[in-house]
Structure 1
Amino acid sequence: MAITADDLPLDNSFAQLPPAFYTRLMPTPLPDPHFVAASAPAAALVGLDAQQLANEDFVAVFSGNRVPARAQPLSAVYSGHQFGVWAGQLGDGRAILLGDIPSPAGPMELQLKGSGRTPYSRMGDGRAVLRSSIREFLCSEAMAALGIPTTRALMVTGSPQPVVRESVETAAVVTRMAPSFVRFGSFEHWYYRDKQDELRTLADYVIKAFYPELAGEPNPYKALLKEVTLRTARLIAQWQAVGFMHGVMNSDNMSILGLTLDYGPFGFMEAFDPNHICNHTDQHGRYSYANQPPIGHWNCYALANALLPLVGTVEDAQEALDAYQPEFARSIDALLHAKLGLASNRDGDREFLDDTFKLMQDNHVDFTLFFRRLGKLQLQAPETDAPLRDLFIDRAAFDAWAARYRERLRAENSVDVARREAMMRTNPKYVLRNYLAQVAIERAQNGDFSEVDKLLSVLQQPYDEQPDNESYAALPPDWASHLEVSCSS
């Protein structure tokens, strides 16, 4: 049975917090809004039909032109550290929360990103552009398909309204979904204002709504800090394992639920370089691929500092934080063993892993293609290595490495078929390369949204072979080396 936007069973648990936590306001309408794309899996999570989202009724609501009957729209306040520097008050400068909607996994908040100015916009215009909205939409859903914790993207709407960034672009709104958009910076906001009552209120809300199992702990705030630290360590290990680079790991972009939050200048590793910086704005490389694990730890320290009045002692906070490094090490070790098809841990594995990445770096090997093709390596048939070997400039170095790899596989009696099946489920064939997104964006900017739909369908099955879509797994063309992404969106 078809439903209208007014039928959405919206609630808003965040709106039950005291008024200091947010500002109630209406979205700013956009002229002539139109449908761009919707995610069927995201829609299904909240009981919606993606095709129905193209109807005028839903386009109006998810462009911010009309507010559904049960919505309680608001924008939240938070603060944060940006590029390691305290930035003070930030907040939802262009995002408005409509409310939360039931799902089998619990309530999911619906948030309009790009819906106009708020009291937290500072010098911004409160808008998002079509380019960045499509990138966030595609990557949110690609990450979910990869099995990585993330906010979701329900749909994108566009408008001819001009928006000035480096050039004049057009406006868009992406409807994001998550159980909560509370960030590390949400806690920092109250700590740096010495508002311990509000700090406790927020922590109690998060524990009750999302970590109820911690309420009975002797020190629930220490337990909260430890659980968030563990989730953050695991999340970043998953990022590293697929070559994902966030680009702006500010403390206000870190989710209290351990989700990938705020897709700005992200990128997926292509020619492997641990020092690669995907964000053109990040001139000092704070958020390079190699720095993501320690920056994740740094952000947990920022959260611990904010929670310290509740946790109690520095020793208790440090004990919670001490969980980060061993959890990250355990997680990344397990993920890398799986990526290499190794079913056991053996002496010398750490050195072998390091040598593998050093060889990849020296040869500028494509990250995704290397691991995907590695799954097809045959123990007794080096002559079939050509597709993998061709990724390397120094073929002799590859041959020496491959001999070591085969020796390591034989040590655990690895079987080709079983190993290949496991590696195909672990190493994606399709990721959101910047050039693929750029092609879809340029067509969308000319009114053709078909490539957004096509690319989304490919990315939603990243581990499948998809023989008809081989071109989406190809090495980037030469022109792609000139693409740059920055914080401008």
Structure 2
Amino acid sequence: MSSVNFINKTAGWNLQHTYGKLPSGFFTYQQPIPVKEPKTVIFNEDLSKALGLDFSDFPPQEIALLFSGNKTPEGSQPLAQAYAGHQFGNFTMLGDGRAILIGEQKSPNGNLVDIQLKGSGRTPYSRGGDGRATLKSMLREYLISESMHHLGIPTTRSLAVVESGETVYRERSQAGAILTRIAQSHIRVGTFEYARQFLPLEAQKQLTDYTIERHYPFLKEEENPALALLMAVMEKQAALVVDWMRVGFIHGVMNTDNMSIAGETIDYGPCAFMNTYNLKTVFSSIDVNGRYAYGNQPYITHWNLSVLAGALLPQIHTDQKQAIELAQEALNAFPGMYEEKWLQMMRGKLGLMEFEASDKPIIEDLLALMQQFAADYTNTFVALQTGDFSGEAFFETSAFQEWFLHWVKQVTRNGRTLEAVQKSMSSYNPSFIPRNHRVEEALDNASLKNDYQLFKDIHQLLKTPYTPDPAQLHYQSPPPNGDSGYQTFCGT
């Protein structure tokens, strides 16, 4: 099917192209490569409205053509972004090997958001890849990214999934698809690495100025904008990873090209949610050494930030020694920053709102017991919040009961009732998370059997993850085997 440059109706498109004003080395203009037989399988009406878009007058096939990339909206200037990254610690030249940025939509609230087609065909950065994506992996990103949004965690979002009518070859032949991804931007730590390695200093400064203008305008008058940017990104990333830890989310591929400068969760390939609490939990098939295990996520964040600092050194100070000293001083603040945010989060999960020094041992003791007895992470906190301790052998142990009595005494010591404490915990502890076995069942049903009912049911349930629903208790149950042998894959 031949590509058509413009679509007749506007649908409310208000596309800007600020990224294209950066030096040409940061991107390559390219149209999406058309697919054989596009068919929309999921469309996010709520997100569409929030973006100021209205497709109610569009026939389904025209929507499919638009979000497959076979047609492009009026005013679009499609491009693929260049970036690099440290993948499992090794520097690599990368770029949008299977994604095209259509433009930046100016939403009704005045914010700019990237509209990107993922799985839209080969680009100059594909490095031998086919530029395509599987239906199953794009449905995974749609479901998990939208779940993260409703959990209140900063994330890219998903507007549509369009089946391509073509076959994609990964471990086996699979149906192909294109995801429309929405992001504050797609600027990554790896974008700054790329600029540092391959572009002149003036281009590096232009990237910094652009990033500050778009995401951190309050830094524009800072005496040392590059250093100020590093510190602002540190704050964002510390808060983001604390949120991941709060709900048991494991990113799975925390390479520097997957760390958003805007502080959003990005790239939902080998991600998963922890059921049984264990700091060493890994689900990614390619993370054989546990580099990106649940408990390592804060340390890898610090490591990635050090890479960002290295990329910014020439802008931090003209004297390399002084630049290193300034960057190191900033980086040294991260562990304390993270610890403070993590403690505040865990206090919230346990209703410890008086901020006493004695809170930390209670938190650490519970986590140690949960790991010792292989307790379910989500359900343990739900039980403490609701007072319903049925269904977990862990709650019958003398060790837990001793801890529980100590906790009750601690949280009620200043006259607070236990009921008030439990109510305060509700916004920190979701009743429902994307349980891996349920997600896999839904994805297999959809991608292999064209049966989207379970996918839709899970998506609807996860729109209100903090609301208990007695009719959905079966969904709250972890898998009988405790995720033994479960693996996720990157999809490229």
Pick one of 284, 308, 313 that aligns with 1:308. Answer: 313
- Spell out, residue by residue over 1:348-393, the C-alpha distance to the aligned partner (whole angstroms, 9 max, x if none): 222221111110001111111111111023xxxxxxx5327x2417
- Equivalent residue in structure 2 for 1:71, among 70, 76, 80: 76
Which digits, 9 at most, give the CA deviation of each residue in 1:99-121, with x for residues without a partner?
01122150111000000000000
Q: Matched residues in 1 for 2:466 and 2:122: separation? A: 40
Partner AA of 1:438 in structure 2? E
Secondary structure, aligned partner of 1:345: coil
Q: Distance in 1 between matches of 2:185 and 2:224?
A: 23
Judged with a 3 Å threshold, the aligned counterparts in structure 2 of structure 1 residues 412 and 167 are, in CA distance, closer, same or farther, namely farther
Give yes or no for the alignment of 1:100 onto 2:110. no
Contact 1:53 1:59 in 2 (8 A): no
2:11·2:54 contact (CA, 8 Å) conserved in 1? no
Point out the more displaced range, 413-422 or 331-340: 413-422
Q: Structure 2 counterpart of 1:432, which letter? A: P
Equivalent runs, 1:438-453 vs 2, <5 Å: 438-445=440-447, 446-453=449-456
State whether residues 12 and 54 of structure 2, in contact with CA within 8 Å, keep that contact through their aligned partners in structure 1: no
The secondary structure found in structure 2 opposite 1:386 is coil
User: 2:409 pairs with 404, 407, 413, which one?
Assistant: 407
Counterpart for residue 352 of structure 1: 362
- What residue number does 1:471 align with? 474
**Which segment drifts farther, 48-57 or 467-476?**
48-57
Alignment of 1:211-360 (within 5 A): 211-312=216-317, 313-360=323-370
Query: Which residue does the alignment assign to 1:380?
Result: none
State the partner residue of 1:361: 371
Shift of 1:194: 5.7
Structure 1 position 32 matched with structure 2 position 37: yes
Please show how residues 410-425 of structure 1 align to structure 2 within 5 Å. Answer: 410-425=412-427
> How far is 1:193 from its partner?
2.5
Distance verdict in 2 for CA 1:60–1:10, change over 3 Å: same
For residue 319 of structure 1, report the CA deviation from its aligned partner.
Answer: 2.6
> In structure 1, what is the Cα distance between the partners aligned to 2:20 and 2:191?
15
Corresponding position of 1:129: 134
Instruction: Say if 2:11 and 2:55, in contact at 8 Å, map to a contact too.
Output: no
Shift of 1:222: 0.9
User: 1:36-75 maps to which residues of 2 (within 5 A)?
Assistant: 36-49=41-54, 55-75=60-80
Which ranges of structure 1 fall in alignment gaps of 5 or more residues?
A: 378-384
Contact 1:30 1:159 in 2 (8 A): yes
Offset, 1:471 = 2.5
CA contact (8 A) 2:270 2:283 kept: yes
Contact 1:370 1:391 in 2 (8 A): no
Q: How does 1:373-388 map to 2 (within 5 A)?
A: 373-377=383-387, 386-387=389-390
Aligned counterparts of 2:222 and 2:137: Cα–Cα separation in 1? 42
2:457 is the counterpart of 1:434: no
Deviations 1:101-151 (A, max 9, x none): 122150111000000000000021101101110111111111111111111
Query: 1:235 & 1:269 partners in 2: Cα distance?
Result: 17
**Given the alignment, which residue of 162, 178, 197 partners 1:157?**
162
Structure 1 match to 2:197:
192
Distance 2:169 2:156 in 1: 27
User: For this pair of structures, how many residues does the alignment match?
Assistant: 478
Quote how far apart the aligned CAs of 1:40 are: 3.4
- Taking a change above 3 Å as real, the CA distance of residues 23 and 434 of structure 1, as seen in their structure-2 partners, is same
Give SS of 2:15's match: coil
TM-score by length of 1: 0.94
- Secondary structure of the equivalent of 1:150? coil
Are positions 1:18 and 2:20 aligned together? Answer: no
1:395 matched to 2:397? The reply is yes
Two-structure CA RMSD over aligned residues (Å): 1.9
Q: Give the secondary-structure state (helix, strand or coil) at the position aligned to 1:202.
A: helix
Q: Give the conservation status (yes or no) of the 8 Å contact 1:35–1:54.
A: no
- Identity percentage of aligned residues: 38
How far 1:7 moved relative to its partner? 4.7
Indicate the SS of the match to 1:420. helix
- The alignment's TM-score, normalised by the length of structure 2, stands at 0.93
User: 2: CA distance between counterparts of 1:352 and 1:431?
Assistant: 25
